[in-house]
A = this chain, B = another copy of it.
């Protein structure tokens, strides 16, 4: 369940906005609650602590700030972060060095799986957060070709190439015996007949074929259908669906000094379904997506935020890249980072498609 908080820009006057902005920035930098004194001393306001206290009290009433305990300063609420991101944040541009690192890493790899693994690692190390890359199964997309390779007497490897260049292989065990020649022919047949269709469509066509009379007398076609259906079934590269890298990076963060919270977080990262749900729900959305704390089940429990972006072409979204970290993260740096990486990946993919 993903539900962004509703925020209205006109809720706050100019001064309150500035104060909220400063508090969020300072709290992100220090991790500590921010008090009126610090705020007054920072020099951005020509106001006494007492006046700032009044503003802060208002911001608390409106739900943008909260106090961890009576005699502490204020920290932003989810709502506060959301307002900050929506209206107050000024993104830092990426340094040329960072841009190069991303371009390099995206350019230098050819195989799809590899790109994602590397991307995730890069993201993690550049952001010092958890890097996440999500790749939907081939099921959603149309295929370009299908080939069959004899691996052992009754084991055949199917190589399926998606319209977006994704390559999946899968080993099928079969009772029928196939020669290399037959496999070659079957591959050619399926590729010419069915390329451009999704796996699901192919399966249905194959099944419909079985009902036709002429098939009963064509042994070769029967074999083709049997193998084809086998190959198309259960293509779910589960182990590659979600790549999570750099989980160790969150260990340094002060919000995880508590061992219990840490453990919960790691366990949550291990079962990836919820995360996949969230990322999948963003697959239709254009542009950068940011999810804060209570805005989803997953992020709520652990006080996490997710910054993610779709990659792939407009017509064929391939998946999501992003980072996960504590709510208190440098959004101003993370946002352009994820955005740029997503664009770079998409560009690379587009280029590859044009080559063909």
Q: Does A213 contact B (CB under 8 A)?
A: no
Cβ < 8 Å to B, chain A residues 238-271: 239, 246-248, 251-252, 256-257, 259, 262-263, 266-267, 269-270
Number of copies of chain A assembled together: 2
> What residues make up the interface of A, taking CB atoms closer than 8 Å to B?
110-111, 113-114, 117, 144-145, 147, 149-155, 157, 159, 161, 165, 167, 169-171, 173, 180, 184, 188, 239, 246-248, 251-252, 256-257, 259, 262-263, 266-267, 269-270, 352, 355-356
Contact check, B171 vs A167: say whether CB atoms are below 8 A apart.
yes
Chain B minimum-CB-distance residue to A181: B184
In the complex, which residues of chain B have a beta carbon less than 8 angstroms from the beta carbon of A356?
152-153
**A191 and B184 alpha carbons, distance in the complex (Å):** 16
8 residue pairs bridging A and B, Cβ less than 8 Å apart: A111-B171, A152-B165, A154-B355, A157-B169, A167-B171, A247-B266, A251-B259, A262-B262
Say how far A349's CB is from chain B's closest CB, in angstroms: 13
Residues of chain B with a CB closer than 8 A to A153's CB: 355-356
Q: A113-B239, A180-B188, A248-B270 are in contact. Are A151 and B167 (CB under 8 A)?
A: yes
Given A180-B188, A247-B266, are A171 and B259 neighbors across the interface (CB < 8 Å)? no
CA distance A11 to B117 in the complex (A): 52
Q: In the complex, what distance in Å separates the CA atom of A135 from the CA atom of B151?
A: 19
- Do A114 and B239 touch (CB < 8 A)? yes
